[in-house]
Amino acid sequence: DTGVSQNPRHKITKRGQNVTFRCDPISEHNRLYWYRQTLGQGPEFLTYFQNEAQLEKSRLLSDRFSAERPKGSFSTLEIQRTEQGDSAMYLCASSLDGLGSNQPQHFGDGTRLSIL
Amino acid sequence: TQLLEQSPQFLSIQEGENLTVYCNSSSVFSSLQWYRQEPGEGPVLLVTVVTGGEVKKLKRLTFQFGDARKDSSLHITAAQPGDTGLYLCAGQTSYDKVIFGPGTSLSVIP
């Protein structure tokens, strides 16, 4: 399977704990995006990378959230001191570099986070 | 702030019926994409429309991009239970940021 891969698929943790998610994009894609999706809503943009550079961060991304893409391949999203409101599906997507050329994003199946 | 609205929010129809869902914005997008998402899975791209007035067909699905590139519609002919899912539109800005609408949840009853 050469699609976008996310791990773990599900994460259940207690409030206050730290969690880390991993995303492996399609290998030739140099753009990688993180989104958060709650039930009945569309994905909300969190941040995106062009290769290893983090180019934009949403104001939704509080200081408890950090994302990295150290070698321009896989990416991690860490949430520190989790809160109830962090419960959501975290989606990763990747695309080719497409400024002005409308390259579509390909999504993984997400990591569902549940905070107890 | 660029926003996308979708209507209706929920739609429940009988197998064989036709339906149209809408995606509207006050902003202009360089392109607009439609995705379908099933529970527990990520969105799957259906189509990208780029040119104002463009119409694309994908089997029983017809997608239209408004002339002003601010709105789009998805029409499904003779809906089938396999069409059930969350239909998301996503607008791509000139800076390559993608903004998603809240989705239309479609249920097709056999």
Please report which helix (H) or strand (E) contains residue A6, including its range: strand A5-7
CB contact under 8 A, B97 and A56: yes
pLDDT score of A73: 92
Q: What is the mean pLDDT of chain A?
A: 91
Q: Closest partner residue to A107 among B31, B42, B50, by Cβ?
A: B42
pLDDT score of A1: 54
CB contact under 8 A, A98 and B43: no
pLDDT score of B92: 83
Q: Which residues of B touch A100 (CB under 8 A)?
A: 30, 94
The answer to whether residue A98 neighbours chain B at the CB level (below 8 Å) is yes
pLDDT higher than threshold 70 for residue A32: yes
> What whole-number percentage of chain A has pLDDT above 90?
76
Q: What is the dihedral of CA A27, A9, A92, B46, to 10 degrees?
A: 90
How far apart are alpha carbons B29 and B10 in whole angstroms?
25
In a mutational test of the B interface, the residue from A101, A105, A109, A113 whose CB has the highest number of chain B CBs within 10 Å is A105
Domain boundaries, chain B: 5-109
Contact B110, A45 (CB under 8 A): no
Angle at B28 between CA A93 and CA B63, to 5 degrees: 65
Q: How does pLDDT run along chain B (110 residues), one tens digit per residue?
A: 668 999 999 999 999 999 999 999 988 888 899 999 998 899 999 999 989 999 999 999 999 999 999 999 999 999 999 999 999 999 887 666 788 999 999 999 99
pLDDT score of B97: 74
Q: Which residue of chain A is at minimal alpha-carbon distance from B34?
A: A104
Q: Which residues of A touch B93 (CB under 8 A)?
A: none
CB contact under 8 A, A100 and B94: yes
In a mutational test of the B interface, the residue from A102, A103, A106 whose CB has the highest number of chain B CBs within 10 Å is A102
pLDDT score of A103: 76
Tell me the torsion sign for CA atoms A111, A114, B2, B8.
Answer: positive
pLDDT in tens, B79-101: 999 999 999 999 887 666 788 99
pLDDT higher than threshold 80 for residue A13: yes
Cis geometry, peptide bond prior to residue A104 (ω within 30 degrees of 0): no
pLDDT in tens, A60-112: 788 999 999 998 899 999 999 999 999 999 999 999 876 555 678 899 999 99
Query: Nearest CA of chain A to the CA of B15: how many Å?
Result: 23
- Tokens 């499904």 correspond to B76
pLDDT score of B29: 87
Euclidean distance between the first and the last CA atom of chain A, given in angstroms as a whole number: 33
Pick the CATH number of B5-109 from 2.60.40.10, 1.10.10.10, 1.10.20.10, 1.20.1260.10: 2.60.40.10
Beta-strand (E) ranges in A38-87? 44-50, 53-57, 65-68, 75-79
pLDDT higher than threshold 70 for residue A18: yes
Contact B96, A98 (CB under 8 A): yes
